[in-house]
Homo-oligomer: A and B are copies of this chain.
Amino acid sequence: MSAGPAEADWAAALAAVRGIPADARILLVCHVNPDGDALGSMLGFGLGLRRLGLRRVRATFPGPPEVPETLRGLPGEELLVPATDADPDPNLVVCFDAASESRLGELVDRLVTADIALVLDHHASNTRFGAVNLVDPRAAATSVIVDELLTRLGVPLDAEIAECLYVALSTDTGSFRFEATTPAVHRLAARLIATGIRPGEISRRIYDTRPFGAVRLFGEVLGRARLEPAAAAGRGMVWTYATLDDLVRHGQRPCVLEALIDSVRCTAEADVSCVAKQTSRDEWAVSLRSKGAVDVSRVAVALGGGGHRFAAGFTGRGAVEQMVDGVRAELDAALLDSEPGRP
Protein backbone atom coordinates (compact mmCIF):
# COMPACT_ATOMS: atom_id res chain seq x y z
CA MET A 1 0.00 0.00 0.00
CA SER A 2 1.46 3.37 -1.00
CA ALA A 3 2.24 6.03 1.57
CA GLY A 4 0.27 9.18 2.21
CA PRO A 5 0.86 12.64 0.71
CA ALA A 6 4.42 13.98 0.69
CA GLU A 7 5.13 17.21 2.56
CA ALA A 8 5.43 18.91 -0.85
CA ASP A 9 1.81 17.93 -1.61
CA TRP A 10 0.61 19.37 1.69
CA ALA A 11 2.58 22.56 1.00
CA ALA A 12 1.06 22.85 -2.49
CA ALA A 13 -2.45 22.32 -1.12
CA LEU A 14 -1.93 24.94 1.60
CA ALA A 15 -0.56 27.38 -0.97
CA ALA A 16 -3.53 26.78 -3.29
CA VAL A 17 -6.02 27.64 -0.54
CA ARG A 18 -4.08 30.39 1.21
CA GLY A 19 -3.22 32.20 -1.98
CA ILE A 20 -6.80 32.65 -3.04
CA PRO A 21 -8.64 35.99 -2.60
CA ALA A 22 -11.73 36.17 -0.39
CA ASP A 23 -14.07 36.61 -3.35
CA ALA A 24 -12.61 33.76 -5.42
CA ARG A 25 -15.15 31.30 -6.82
CA ILE A 26 -14.58 27.91 -5.20
CA LEU A 27 -16.39 24.78 -6.30
CA LEU A 28 -16.35 21.63 -4.19
CA VAL A 29 -17.29 18.41 -5.98
CA CYS A 30 -17.79 14.89 -4.70
CA HIS A 31 -18.61 11.66 -6.49
CA VAL A 32 -21.96 10.70 -8.01
CA ASN A 33 -24.42 9.09 -5.56
CA PRO A 34 -22.59 10.66 -2.62
CA ASP A 35 -22.20 8.61 0.54
CA GLY A 36 -21.54 9.88 4.04
CA ASP A 37 -17.79 10.31 3.56
CA ALA A 38 -18.13 12.13 0.22
CA LEU A 39 -20.81 14.53 1.45
CA GLY A 40 -19.51 14.98 4.99
CA SER A 41 -15.94 15.60 3.84
CA MET A 42 -17.10 18.10 1.22
CA LEU A 43 -19.45 20.08 3.49
CA GLY A 44 -17.04 20.00 6.43
CA PHE A 45 -14.28 21.40 4.23
CA GLY A 46 -16.68 23.95 2.74
CA LEU A 47 -17.55 25.23 6.21
CA GLY A 48 -13.85 25.37 7.02
CA LEU A 49 -13.20 27.55 3.94
CA ARG A 50 -16.04 29.85 5.03
CA ARG A 51 -14.37 30.20 8.44
CA LEU A 52 -11.26 31.39 6.58
CA GLY A 53 -13.30 34.24 5.13
CA LEU A 54 -13.78 32.76 1.67
CA ARG A 55 -17.23 33.97 0.67
CA ARG A 56 -18.05 32.22 -2.59
CA VAL A 57 -17.90 28.54 -1.72
CA ARG A 58 -20.34 26.19 -3.45
CA ALA A 59 -20.61 22.39 -3.23
CA THR A 60 -22.15 19.98 -5.71
CA PHE A 61 -22.11 16.46 -7.15
CA PRO A 62 -22.99 14.99 -10.56
CA GLY A 63 -26.31 13.38 -11.39
CA PRO A 64 -29.58 13.85 -9.51
CA PRO A 65 -29.13 16.58 -6.88
CA GLU A 66 -31.06 14.72 -4.16
CA VAL A 67 -29.17 14.06 -0.93
CA PRO A 68 -29.89 10.56 0.49
CA GLU A 69 -32.50 10.77 3.23
CA THR A 70 -30.18 9.62 6.03
CA LEU A 71 -27.67 12.36 5.15
CA ARG A 72 -30.09 15.28 5.07
CA GLY A 73 -29.77 18.14 7.51
CA LEU A 74 -25.96 18.17 7.67
CA PRO A 75 -24.37 21.49 8.61
CA GLY A 76 -23.20 23.27 5.47
CA GLU A 77 -26.09 21.89 3.41
CA GLU A 78 -26.77 25.49 2.37
CA LEU A 79 -23.58 25.39 0.29
CA LEU A 80 -25.09 22.75 -2.02
CA VAL A 81 -26.19 23.65 -5.55
CA PRO A 82 -27.44 21.29 -8.29
CA ALA A 83 -24.73 20.32 -10.80
CA THR A 84 -26.60 22.26 -13.47
CA ASP A 85 -26.11 25.48 -11.46
CA ALA A 86 -22.45 24.89 -10.62
CA ASP A 87 -19.94 27.57 -11.64
CA PRO A 88 -18.64 26.70 -15.15
CA ASP A 89 -15.12 28.07 -14.55
CA PRO A 90 -14.28 28.33 -10.86
CA ASN A 91 -10.98 29.66 -9.56
CA LEU A 92 -10.49 26.55 -7.46
CA VAL A 93 -12.12 23.15 -7.70
CA VAL A 94 -11.70 20.61 -4.88
CA CYS A 95 -12.70 16.97 -5.44
CA PHE A 96 -13.65 14.66 -2.56
CA ASP A 97 -13.62 10.87 -2.27
CA ALA A 98 -13.47 10.39 -6.06
CA ALA A 99 -10.89 7.83 -7.22
CA SER A 100 -10.93 8.97 -10.84
CA GLU A 101 -12.29 11.67 -13.16
CA SER A 102 -15.09 9.36 -14.27
CA ARG A 103 -16.65 9.61 -10.80
CA LEU A 104 -17.28 13.32 -11.41
CA GLY A 105 -19.77 12.70 -14.24
CA GLU A 106 -20.80 15.83 -16.14
CA LEU A 107 -18.69 17.98 -13.78
CA VAL A 108 -15.43 16.50 -15.09
CA ASP A 109 -14.82 19.54 -17.34
CA ARG A 110 -14.22 21.71 -14.23
CA LEU A 111 -10.85 19.96 -13.91
CA VAL A 112 -9.93 21.85 -17.09
CA THR A 113 -11.86 25.10 -16.69
CA ALA A 114 -10.80 25.73 -13.09
CA ASP A 115 -7.57 27.63 -12.44
CA ILE A 116 -6.43 24.84 -10.15
CA ALA A 117 -7.79 21.41 -9.18
CA LEU A 118 -7.17 19.90 -5.75
CA VAL A 119 -7.96 16.21 -5.12
CA LEU A 120 -8.64 14.79 -1.63
CA ASP A 121 -9.16 11.04 -1.49
CA HIS A 122 -8.30 7.80 0.30
CA HIS A 123 -8.83 5.20 -2.46
CA ALA A 124 -5.72 3.17 -3.33
CA SER A 125 -6.84 3.22 -6.98
CA ASN A 126 -6.85 7.05 -7.12
CA THR A 127 -5.43 8.21 -10.48
CA ARG A 128 -4.03 11.51 -9.13
CA PHE A 129 -6.06 13.51 -11.63
CA GLY A 130 -5.65 16.88 -9.89
CA ALA A 131 -2.91 19.49 -10.13
CA VAL A 132 -2.45 18.89 -6.41
CA ASN A 133 -3.32 15.51 -4.93
CA LEU A 134 -3.74 14.69 -1.26
CA VAL A 135 -4.31 10.96 -1.53
CA ASP A 136 -3.75 8.64 1.43
CA PRO A 137 -4.80 5.01 0.97
CA ARG A 138 -4.00 4.32 4.63
CA ALA A 139 -6.70 6.78 5.72
CA ALA A 140 -9.93 5.13 6.82
CA ALA A 141 -11.92 7.90 5.16
CA THR A 142 -11.43 11.02 3.06
CA SER A 143 -12.60 12.98 6.11
CA VAL A 144 -9.34 12.04 7.89
CA ILE A 145 -7.44 13.93 5.16
CA VAL A 146 -9.89 16.84 5.33
CA ASP A 147 -9.33 17.06 9.08
CA GLU A 148 -5.58 17.21 8.60
CA LEU A 149 -5.80 19.87 5.89
CA LEU A 150 -8.15 22.02 7.99
CA THR A 151 -5.79 21.66 10.94
CA ARG A 152 -2.81 22.69 8.81
CA LEU A 153 -4.86 25.64 7.49
CA GLY A 154 -5.42 26.73 11.10
CA VAL A 155 -9.21 26.35 10.97
CA PRO A 156 -10.45 25.72 14.53
CA LEU A 157 -12.66 22.67 14.78
CA ASP A 158 -16.24 23.63 15.69
CA ALA A 159 -19.40 21.58 16.20
CA GLU A 160 -20.70 22.15 12.66
CA ILE A 161 -17.52 21.04 10.94
CA ALA A 162 -17.20 18.20 13.48
CA GLU A 163 -20.70 16.89 12.73
CA CYS A 164 -19.90 16.68 9.00
CA LEU A 165 -16.60 14.91 9.61
CA TYR A 166 -18.13 12.60 12.25
CA VAL A 167 -20.85 11.43 9.83
CA ALA A 168 -18.16 10.88 7.20
CA LEU A 169 -15.86 8.96 9.55
CA SER A 170 -18.58 6.83 11.13
CA THR A 171 -20.22 5.80 7.85
CA ASP A 172 -16.96 5.02 6.04
CA THR A 173 -15.67 2.81 8.88
CA GLY A 174 -18.96 0.90 9.24
CA SER A 175 -19.42 2.58 12.63
CA PHE A 176 -15.78 2.00 13.61
CA ARG A 177 -15.87 -1.71 12.72
CA PHE A 178 -13.71 -2.00 9.62
CA GLU A 179 -10.05 -3.02 9.76
CA ALA A 180 -8.95 0.51 8.76
CA THR A 181 -10.20 1.77 12.14
CA THR A 182 -6.82 2.69 13.57
CA PRO A 183 -6.11 4.33 16.93
CA ALA A 184 -5.87 7.61 14.98
CA VAL A 185 -9.47 7.17 13.77
CA HIS A 186 -10.70 6.84 17.34
CA ARG A 187 -8.59 9.78 18.47
CA LEU A 188 -10.16 11.86 15.70
CA ALA A 189 -13.64 10.71 16.76
CA ALA A 190 -12.80 11.77 20.33
CA ARG A 191 -11.77 15.25 19.13
CA LEU A 192 -14.92 15.58 17.03
CA ILE A 193 -17.26 14.56 19.87
CA ALA A 194 -15.42 16.91 22.25
CA THR A 195 -16.86 19.85 20.26
CA GLY A 196 -20.24 19.01 21.78
CA ILE A 197 -21.84 17.04 18.96
CA ARG A 198 -24.22 14.24 20.01
CA PRO A 199 -23.04 10.86 18.68
CA GLY A 200 -26.26 9.14 19.77
CA GLU A 201 -28.55 11.57 18.01
CA ILE A 202 -26.40 11.66 14.87
CA SER A 203 -26.10 7.87 14.75
CA ARG A 204 -29.86 7.41 15.10
CA ARG A 205 -30.31 9.76 12.16
CA ILE A 206 -27.78 8.07 9.87
CA TYR A 207 -28.38 4.44 10.89
CA ASP A 208 -31.86 4.15 12.44
CA THR A 209 -34.10 5.82 9.90
CA ARG A 210 -35.37 3.03 7.71
CA PRO A 211 -38.94 3.61 6.46
CA PHE A 212 -41.36 1.01 7.82
CA GLY A 213 -42.07 -0.15 4.26
CA ALA A 214 -38.37 -0.86 3.86
CA VAL A 215 -38.31 -2.94 7.07
CA ARG A 216 -41.06 -5.15 5.60
CA LEU A 217 -39.33 -5.17 2.21
CA PHE A 218 -36.04 -6.26 3.84
CA GLY A 219 -37.99 -9.01 5.57
CA GLU A 220 -39.33 -10.33 2.30
CA VAL A 221 -35.95 -10.14 0.59
CA LEU A 222 -34.08 -11.82 3.48
CA GLY A 223 -36.75 -14.51 3.62
CA ARG A 224 -35.82 -15.55 0.07
CA ALA A 225 -32.05 -15.53 0.64
CA ARG A 226 -30.11 -18.61 -0.47
CA LEU A 227 -26.84 -20.11 0.65
CA GLU A 228 -24.60 -21.79 -1.89
CA PRO A 229 -21.25 -23.48 -1.48
CA ALA A 230 -18.58 -22.12 -3.83
CA ALA A 231 -17.18 -25.20 -5.55
CA ALA A 232 -13.46 -24.45 -5.42
CA ALA A 233 -12.87 -24.05 -1.73
CA GLY A 234 -16.11 -24.88 0.01
CA ARG A 235 -16.59 -21.23 0.96
CA GLY A 236 -20.26 -20.32 1.05
CA MET A 237 -21.93 -17.49 -0.81
CA VAL A 238 -25.20 -16.01 0.40
CA TRP A 239 -27.33 -14.16 -2.11
CA THR A 240 -30.71 -12.59 -2.60
CA TYR A 241 -32.42 -10.10 -4.89
CA ALA A 242 -34.96 -7.28 -4.91
CA THR A 243 -37.15 -6.56 -7.91
CA LEU A 244 -38.69 -3.29 -9.09
CA ASP A 245 -42.04 -4.87 -8.25
CA ASP A 246 -40.85 -5.37 -4.63
CA LEU A 247 -40.12 -1.63 -4.42
CA VAL A 248 -43.49 -0.68 -5.85
CA ARG A 249 -45.37 -3.10 -3.61
CA HIS A 250 -43.73 -1.69 -0.46
CA GLY A 251 -43.81 1.90 -1.69
CA GLN A 252 -40.03 2.31 -1.50
CA ARG A 253 -37.38 4.12 -3.56
CA PRO A 254 -34.30 2.24 -4.82
CA CYS A 255 -31.93 4.04 -2.40
CA VAL A 256 -33.40 2.16 0.60
CA LEU A 257 -31.82 -1.00 -0.81
CA GLU A 258 -28.31 0.33 -0.24
CA ALA A 259 -28.30 -0.98 3.34
CA LEU A 260 -29.64 -4.38 2.28
CA ILE A 261 -26.22 -5.98 1.80
CA ASP A 262 -25.40 -5.26 5.47
CA SER A 263 -28.32 -7.44 6.55
CA VAL A 264 -27.07 -10.25 4.30
CA ARG A 265 -23.30 -10.23 4.76
CA CYS A 266 -23.60 -11.07 8.47
CA THR A 267 -24.33 -14.68 7.43
CA ALA A 268 -21.86 -16.86 9.37
CA GLU A 269 -21.55 -19.61 6.75
CA ALA A 270 -20.77 -17.23 3.87
CA ASP A 271 -17.47 -15.58 2.98
CA VAL A 272 -19.07 -13.78 0.06
CA SER A 273 -22.45 -12.08 -0.11
CA CYS A 274 -24.25 -10.95 -3.22
CA VAL A 275 -27.33 -8.74 -3.62
CA ALA A 276 -28.95 -8.13 -7.02
CA LYS A 277 -31.12 -5.04 -7.28
CA GLN A 278 -33.28 -4.80 -10.39
CA THR A 279 -32.84 -1.42 -12.07
CA SER A 280 -34.87 -1.98 -15.27
CA ARG A 281 -36.76 -4.82 -16.92
CA ASP A 282 -33.59 -6.65 -17.89
CA GLU A 283 -30.87 -5.07 -15.76
CA TRP A 284 -29.56 -5.59 -12.24
CA ALA A 285 -27.12 -3.65 -10.08
CA VAL A 286 -25.19 -6.42 -8.34
CA SER A 287 -23.29 -5.75 -5.09
CA LEU A 288 -20.63 -8.12 -3.78
CA ARG A 289 -19.01 -8.20 -0.35
CA SER A 290 -16.18 -10.36 0.96
CA LYS A 291 -15.08 -11.09 4.49
CA GLY A 292 -11.52 -11.19 3.24
CA ALA A 293 -10.76 -14.67 1.90
CA VAL A 294 -11.85 -13.81 -1.65
CA ASP A 295 -11.06 -10.65 -3.62
CA VAL A 296 -14.53 -9.80 -4.96
CA SER A 297 -13.15 -7.02 -7.19
CA ARG A 298 -11.67 -9.80 -9.40
CA VAL A 299 -15.14 -11.30 -9.75
CA ALA A 300 -16.67 -7.90 -10.49
CA VAL A 301 -13.99 -6.91 -13.03
CA ALA A 302 -14.45 -10.24 -14.84
CA LEU A 303 -18.15 -9.41 -15.12
CA GLY A 304 -17.57 -5.87 -16.37
CA GLY A 305 -17.61 -3.99 -13.06
CA GLY A 306 -15.08 -2.89 -10.47
CA GLY A 307 -14.38 -2.24 -6.82
CA HIS A 308 -12.14 -3.33 -4.01
CA ARG A 309 -11.15 -6.56 -2.30
CA PHE A 310 -13.95 -6.30 0.27
CA ALA A 311 -16.64 -4.50 -1.78
CA ALA A 312 -17.33 -4.54 -5.50
CA GLY A 313 -20.16 -4.52 -8.01
CA PHE A 314 -21.21 -4.90 -11.62
CA THR A 315 -24.22 -4.50 -13.89
CA GLY A 316 -25.88 -7.81 -14.76
CA ARG A 317 -28.48 -8.81 -17.33
CA GLY A 318 -31.03 -11.59 -17.68
CA ALA A 319 -32.50 -13.99 -15.14
CA VAL A 320 -31.19 -13.60 -11.62
CA GLU A 321 -30.36 -17.30 -11.18
CA GLN A 322 -28.16 -17.32 -14.29
CA MET A 323 -26.44 -14.15 -13.15
CA VAL A 324 -25.67 -15.77 -9.80
CA ASP A 325 -24.32 -18.84 -11.62
CA GLY A 326 -21.96 -16.44 -13.41
CA VAL A 327 -20.84 -14.96 -10.09
CA ARG A 328 -20.20 -18.42 -8.68
CA ALA A 329 -18.10 -19.42 -11.67
CA GLU A 330 -15.95 -16.27 -11.39
CA LEU A 331 -15.72 -16.76 -7.65
CA ASP A 332 -14.34 -20.24 -8.15
CA ALA A 333 -11.85 -18.85 -10.68
CA ALA A 334 -10.81 -16.13 -8.24
CA LEU A 335 -10.32 -18.72 -5.52
CA LEU A 336 -8.11 -20.82 -7.80
CA ASP A 337 -6.13 -17.73 -8.85
CA SER A 338 -5.52 -16.77 -5.25
CA GLU A 339 -3.68 -20.01 -4.56
CA PRO A 340 -0.06 -19.50 -3.47
CA GLY A 341 2.44 -19.41 -6.32
CA ARG A 342 0.11 -17.71 -8.78
CA PRO A 343 1.05 -14.19 -9.91
Contacts and interface: CB of A to CB of B under 8 A. Distances in A.
A156 B190 CA distance: 23
A194 B182 CA distance: 8
Contacts of A211: 267-269
A134 interface: no
Contact of A219 (B180, B189, B223): B223
Interface string A51-74: 000000000000000000000000
A19 interface: no
Given A183-B190, A219-B222, A268 B212 contact: yes
A215 B267 contact: yes
Contacts of A219: 218-225
A179 interface: yes
Interface of A: 170, 174-187, 189-191, 193-194, 198-201, 203-204, 207-212, 215-216, 218-225, 227, 236, 238, 263-270, 291
20 contacts: A175-B175, A176-B176, A176-B189, A176-B199, A177-B207, A178-B199, A181-B200, A182-B193, A183-B190, A183-B194, A184-B190, A186-B187, A186-B193, A208-B266, A208-B268, A209-B266, A211-B269, A216-B222, A218-B219, A218-B263
